């Protein structure tokens, strides 16, 4: 039997025996979430998948409550948000939870993605798991973009105008596509209605894709910080109580950070212009997206040609789909790849730098820096990763994950002294 097979469920009382005979639903969940054999050496970077699940739930629940009081009409949308903030019991809490929750969701997904990049989680046999993850990321971005129009503020209106306008760069049919997307010549009631409808739908589609993501994970199993595959059942512990507790503890810390934003600075991540009602005759001085889109916005503006800019921006996400085949190193984890580790951190700073440039006006030094960082972004994926695998001498891999668990060599932390 595979070492990834968790102990099966044995009903203990009359009711569960009755249920299992008719609908073995507990028996389905139990080996996947209770007894599922999980590597003993997962660190806190591996708790973010679980945190993401909680973020998704928070967004869905707060969103459903918000939509009970929200009106998707250009004459009422802005006012209905103010009504939620002022008149609805705890409406301010639900609204701030949803708006800041989106930021926390992206913070978690970025940590989750960079964890994957560091530990080579995208490598065989987890390529499809990674690809499904990139699809989730794209769906999250689409959902966030659609949702941002709903408060019908200045940034909502102009953000949606700029982004839908991207499509006008497509030769011949571009303008027709933009009109079709908007449901008219400009962002208006038809746009608001369809954005609301799709913003409500997409999170449930995300739930469906998350099921595939976790299903895939349970077939190939978790990787771990050493990158060495498991060989024996003794190298694992049951998911519950070991990782339910560890994930739970990380979740509490994460929720404390969430609470800090929610209760002490609920507007710091948003833009003040979005408290001004949408006005098609007044363009804001700077149109900037939410912080989690800034690196892509910098890439878009770094390219002088509109169509090329749009293509390169999409390519910056598209390249993630082929990442498993770009990295040629046979070693999975950066803990044993001294050179890759340096390039990884350079790449992190390049992404942060792009984010900063995205928030700045596209001129002078900012524009030059955006261009250099954009070139490096692609250089990392298209040159560093394919070539490094041939030249780097990895550190010797341990025979199993056990030294990192038992600390037999005084190297409990696999990264130590590397």
Site of interaction with ligand HEM (CB under 6 A): 46, 48-50, 52-53, 56, 109, 112-113, 116, 119, 121-122, 126, 129-130, 133-134, 136-137, 206, 210, 213-214, 217, 222-223
Nearer to ligand HEM, 46 or 166 (CB): 46
**Residue 233 CB, nearest distance to ligand HEM (Å)?**
18
Which CB atom, from 275 or from 344, has the smaller least distance to ligand HEM? 344
We find the least distance from the C-beta atom of residue 168 to ligand HEM, in angstroms, to be 29
Fill in the DSSP letter of residue 153.
Answer: B
- CB 331 → ligand HEM: shortest distance, Å? 14
**Distance (Å, whole) CA 388 – CA 337:** 10
For residue 356, give the nearest of 343, 341, 367 by alpha carbon: 367
- d(CA 395, CA 123) in angstroms, rounded, equals 18
Cis peptide before 384 (omega within 30 of 0): no
In the complex, what is the shortest distance from the CB of residue 214 to ligand HEM, in angstroms, rounded to a whole number? Answer: 6
Selection from 290, 269, 277, 268 nearest residue 153 by Cα: 277
Q: Write the CA distances from 197 to 65, 67, 88, 280, integer angstroms.
A: 15, 11, 22, 22
Q: Which is nearer to ligand HEM, 216 or 353 (CB)?
A: 216
| Identity of the residue, 113 or 312, whose beta carbon is nearer to ligand HEM in the bound complex | 113
Cα–Cα distance, 48 to 116 (Å, whole number): 11
Least distance in angstroms from the C-beta of 52 to ligand HEM: 4
* Structure tokens, 359: 């928030």
Nearer to ligand HEM, 214 or 303 (CB): 214
Give the burial string for 22-55 (b: 16+ CB within 10 Å, else e): eeeeeeeebbebbbbbbbbbbeebbbbbbbbbbb
Closer CB to ligand HEM, 129 or 163, in the complex: 129
Residue 150 vs 206, nearer CB to ligand HEM: 206
Interacting residues of 165 by C-beta distance below 8 A, sequence separation 6+: 178
Q: Whole-number minimum distance, CB 117 to ligand HEM, in Å?
A: 9
Q: Helix 306-321 and helix 364-379: axis angle, to 10°?
A: 40
Distance CA 236, CA 31 (A): 14
SS3 state at 305: coil
Residue 216 beta carbon to ligand HEM: minimum distance, rounded to whole angstroms? 8
Residue closer to ligand HEM, measured from CB, 137 or 314: 137
Q: DSSP class of residue 172?
A: T
What residues have CB less than 8 Å from 198, skipping those under 6 apart? 142, 146
- Residues 358/288, Cβ–Cβ less than 8 Å: yes
Looking at the Cβ atoms of 24 and 330, the one nearer to ligand HEM is: 330
Of 320, 305, 303, nearest to 354 (Cα)? 303
Smallest gap from residue 256 Cβ to ligand HEM (A): 19
> At closest approach, how far in Å is the CB of 223 from ligand HEM?
3
CB 67 within 8 A of CB 200: yes
């Amino acid at each position: 039997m595979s070492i990834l097979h968790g102990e099966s469920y044995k009903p203990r009382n009359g009711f569960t025996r009755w249920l299992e005979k008719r609908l073995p639903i507990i028996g389905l969940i139990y080996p996947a979430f209770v007894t599922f054999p999980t590597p003993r050496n997962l660190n806190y970077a591996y708790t973010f998948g679980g945190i993401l699940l909680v973020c998704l739930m928070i967004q869905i629940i707060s969103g459903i409550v918000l939509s009970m009081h929200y009106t998707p009409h250009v004459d009422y949308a802005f006012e209905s948000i103010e009504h939620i903030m002022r008149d609805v019991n705890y409406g301010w809490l639900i609204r701030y939870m949803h708006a800041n929750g989106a930021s926390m969701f992206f913070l978690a997904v970025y940590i989750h993605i960079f964890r994957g990049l560091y530990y080579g989680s995208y490598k065989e046999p987890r390529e499809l798991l990674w690809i499904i993850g990139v699809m989730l990321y794209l769906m999250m971005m689409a959902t966030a973009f659609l949702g941002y129009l709903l408060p019908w503020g200045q940034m909502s209106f102009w953000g949606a105008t700029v982004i839908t306008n991207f499509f006008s760069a497509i030769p011949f049919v571009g303008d027709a596509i933009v009109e079709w997307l908007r449901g008219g010549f400009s962002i208006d009631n038809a746009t608001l209605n369809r954005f609301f409808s799709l913003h409500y739908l997409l999170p449930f589609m995300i739930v469906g894709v998350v099921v595939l993501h976790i299903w895939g994970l349970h077939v190939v199993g978790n990787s771990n910080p050493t990158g060495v595959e498991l060989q024996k059942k003794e190298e694992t512990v049951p998911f519950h109580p070991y990782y339910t507790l560890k994930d739970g503890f990380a979740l509490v810390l994460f929720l404390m950070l969430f609470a800090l934003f929610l209760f002490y600075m609920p507007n710091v991540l948003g833009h003040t212009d979005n408290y001004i009602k949408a006005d098609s005759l007044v363009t804001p001085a700077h149109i900037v997206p939410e912080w989690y889109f800034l690196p892509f916005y910098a890439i878009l503006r770094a390219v002088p040609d509109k169509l090329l800019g749009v293509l390169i921006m999409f390519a910056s996400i598209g390249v993630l789909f082929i990442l498993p085949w770009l990295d040629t190193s046979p070693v999975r984890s950066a803990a044993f790849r001294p050179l890759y580790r340096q390039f990884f951190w350079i790449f992190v700073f390049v992404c942060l730098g792009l984010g900063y440039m995205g928030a700045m006006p596209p001129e002078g030094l900012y524009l030059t820096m955006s261009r250099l960082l954009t070139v490096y972004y692609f250089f990392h994926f298209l040159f560093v990763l394919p070539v490094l695998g041939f030249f780097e001498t990895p550190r010797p891999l341990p025979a199993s994950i056990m030294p990192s668990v038992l600390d037999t060599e005084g190297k409990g932390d696999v990264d130590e002294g590397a």
